[in-house]
Amino acid sequence: MIGVFDSGFGGLVVLREFLRRLPRYDYLYLGDNARIPYGTRSDRVVMRFTQQAVDYLFRQGCRLIILACHTASAKALRALQQEYLPEHYPERRVLGVVIPTVEEALARSPQKRLGVIATEGTVASRSFEIELKKLDAGVQVFQQACPLLVPLIEAGEQDWEGTAMILRRYLAPLQEARVDTLILGCTHYSILKEQIAAIMAYEPRLICSGEVTALKLVDYLTRHPEMETRLSRGGRRRFLSTDLTPRFQQLASLFMGQPVDSEVVEL
């Protein structure tokens, strides 16, 4: 079984792409909606929350987990891979969304002028900038923290006129920098993709992690048959949340593109 973890709803966009590309596998989705947002949390807290989620998903039978949360990928993934898994789960794997997104962004950027919009925590971690410069030291990276976007989307206000005003303010520095490629560094932001494209009128390439990560997962499983053969294939999907409200059900369906039947769990 493949586990998909996010701090909230946004990871459902990633899962939706997985289901398009790899529908035969069993998936278990976990959203930590009781403790969202992660973007303003300290590294220590994000690591603790993410480790709790990983433990829970492994106990449920997941062999491979994708951290669909950019903040968790930025602040917790490396420590999980290098320190926690070798000691506690040496035969299981955790992957993230940052590196696949970075690789795709570089491949599609003609002038190597990349913009990143993300949560405060992801921007502060410099994870995108660090990974981009590992691959190409000459790339120019322009980052913009967007602390209001996740709360607005979580409140269902993505079509509110004030959201467009806030987007224009956040995107203005990136327009001035003439970025040729823009990374949407939070899974929630895909909901605003059309609005972002309309504001960035000169049409920079927009990179959304869901589609990119799905393609990279296909490649990963092809290159790692020892993992691929251990994954169950019943086409089953199960959705878990640490908090369940009518708003969750509504937004989960928006992100997933279809109704979602979720269960409440304690980590």
Q: What angle do CA 87, 88, 90 make, to 5 degrees?
A: 75
Active site residue 69: yes
Which residues touch 165 (CB under 8 Å, ≥6 apart)? none
The answer to whether 172 and 201 are in contact (CB under 8 A) is no
H or E element that contains 264: strand 262-264
| Adjacent-strand bridge partners of 140 | 113
The answer to whether 10 and 206 are in contact (CB under 8 A) is no
The answer to whether 2 and 199 are in contact (CB under 8 A) is no
Active site residue 146: no
Catalytic residue, from 62, 69, 146, 208: name it: 69
Number of residues that make up the chain: 267
Task: Tell me the three state secondary structure of residue 187.
Answer: helix
- What are residue 238's phi and psi, to 5 degrees? -135, 140
Packing angle of the helix pair 11-21, 246-256 (nearest 10 deg): 40
Q: Max CA-CA distance within the chain?
A: 50
The answer to whether 41 and 121 are in contact (CB under 8 A) is yes
Q: Which residues are catalytic?
A: 69, 186
